[in-house]
Chain A
Amino acid sequence: MDHHANFVPWQVLAMRRGASFRLCELTPDGRIDLDYLSSLLNERTRIVAFSHVSNALGTINPVHEIVRLVREKSDAIIVCDGAQSAPHFPVAFDTMGVDFYAFSGHKMLGPMGIGGLIGKREMLENMPPYQTGGDMIEFVHDDRTTWNVLPHKFEAGTPNAANAVGLAAAVDYLEAIGMDKVRSHERQLMSVAQQRLSAIEGLRIYGPPADERSGVVSFTLADVHPHDLATILDGDGVCIRAGHHCAQPLMRRLDVPATARASFYVYNDESDIDALVDGILKAKEIFGDVPAQAARG
């Protein structure tokens, strides 16, 4: 169910190293199939990467169960993609049990081009720099160089200062609201959205029940293509995402070329759900009864 950003790098790494790259399949309602995961793990498993929250379905994955399974059966390094969890609910790295956790600035009201990688100190200490340049050095001898301390060892070159300040402002803003409040606000909106959307005939929602999802709802509307739906909603000032959500392997498993996805955050309220529902009904009206043959080929 992962975003390509937590898929392609591992696929490429595996090819480069001659390792095998294996995918954990999902349950029919879009959760990680833990039995399947268990069957993949053994003492040769080196890295297990998963997303905390699916960007395409909103599924909140059970971190502790996943970590327990992995630790039981392997010595693998556990990497958690938190791009969709850090913005939406409280996250405590120290209690998650994972080795690395990554997040993106622009998914949490911050600027593009910055993010964070949190790692267990002993692992970071043992890792060589992945980039060389200014600031990551301690001493440069004629024949060798020693490394600066953490985190500077991994921050080669001119620092991205403007974006760091921007991200810090975003974090302050979210902390002032309170991440618990962000979560409860989204839960409330999701429960209303789920109720309103599931009442629309021909609308199909993907993923687990609303209370097990973060603030997104992924759906299709009969034979109206998601891009047409998005364009019609756009005309009424409603922005949704239509497409494969950078999760093509997931779309194949859902057997759809694309879905429409509405996302809710701190700036949304129930009137936005009204506008969304009105726009969907309008799309149904414009398209009328499109026979399945026409839309599917």
Chain B
Amino acid sequence: MTHPKTSAEVGALYQEMILDHYRRPRNKGVLENPDASVEMKNPLCGDEITLQVAFAGDSVCDLRFSGRGCSISQASASMMTQLIKGKSTEEIDAIRKQFRELMLGDASAVDDPQLGSLRALSGVARFPARVKCALLAWNALESALAERSVD
């Protein structure tokens, strides 16, 4: 990772897709009867998220998030909920691993169609300090899935 950041890298980070999800987050709110509910905070920047998940069999049938944070954390949460809904836990695990690769700057992850709109977040990898923002919702998801497997 080279420093300092360039204006072009910043432009690549704040794609319209991300700003759109920040302005109009999808699946934001609360579920009436979630099977798992996880609250997570990023102590460094004060971002916080509550993720609620409802399962049907082995699949996530619905999920909602609430909380506050920067555009990266909010957009990542919003896009994640869209992509995960209806997927099996096995599919979700694969996506989750691949998204982490994307955040680590793995070029092949950028071309992986299963990441869908999440690929818009690929620019985050150039900003190590912001990777934790993008991963906040995913860490919450991981805990929610673990909570489910314990039950």
Contacts and interface: CB of A to CB of B under 8 A. Distances in A.
A236 interface: yes
B46 A294 contact: no
Contact of B46 (A234, A244, A288, A290): A244
B24 to A, nearest CB: 7
A227 B10 contact: no
Nearest to A252: B46
Nearest to B6: A235
Given A231-B13, A257-B45, A294-B74, A288 B7 contact: no
Contact of B22 (A226, A232, A234, A290): A290
A286 interface: yes
Contacts of B7: 235-236
Contacts of B23: 288, 290-291, 294
Contacts of A231: 5, 10, 13, 127, 130
B24 A286 contact: no
Interface residues of A, number: 26
A286 B4 CA distance: 20
A144 interface: no
A189 B127 CA distance: 30
A234 B45 contact: no
Contacts of A244: 45-46
B44 interface: yes
Contact of A288 (B5, B19, B25, B72): B19
Interface string A205-236: 00000000000000000000111100110111
Determine which residue in A236, A291, A297 has the highest number of CB atoms from chain B within 10 A of its CB, and name it.
A297
Interface residues of B, number: 32
B69 interface: yes
B97 interface: no
A28 B65 CA distance: 33
Determine which residue in B8, B9, B68 has the highest number of CB atoms from chain A within 10 A of its CB, and name it.
B68
Nearest to A234: B5
Nearest to B47: A257
B70 A225 contact: yes
A232 B72 CA distance: 13
B71 to A, nearest CB: 5
B133 interface: yes
A225 B10 CA distance: 15
Given A231-B130, A257-B48, A297-B28, 4 more contacts: A228-B14, A228-B70, A235-B11, A295-B74
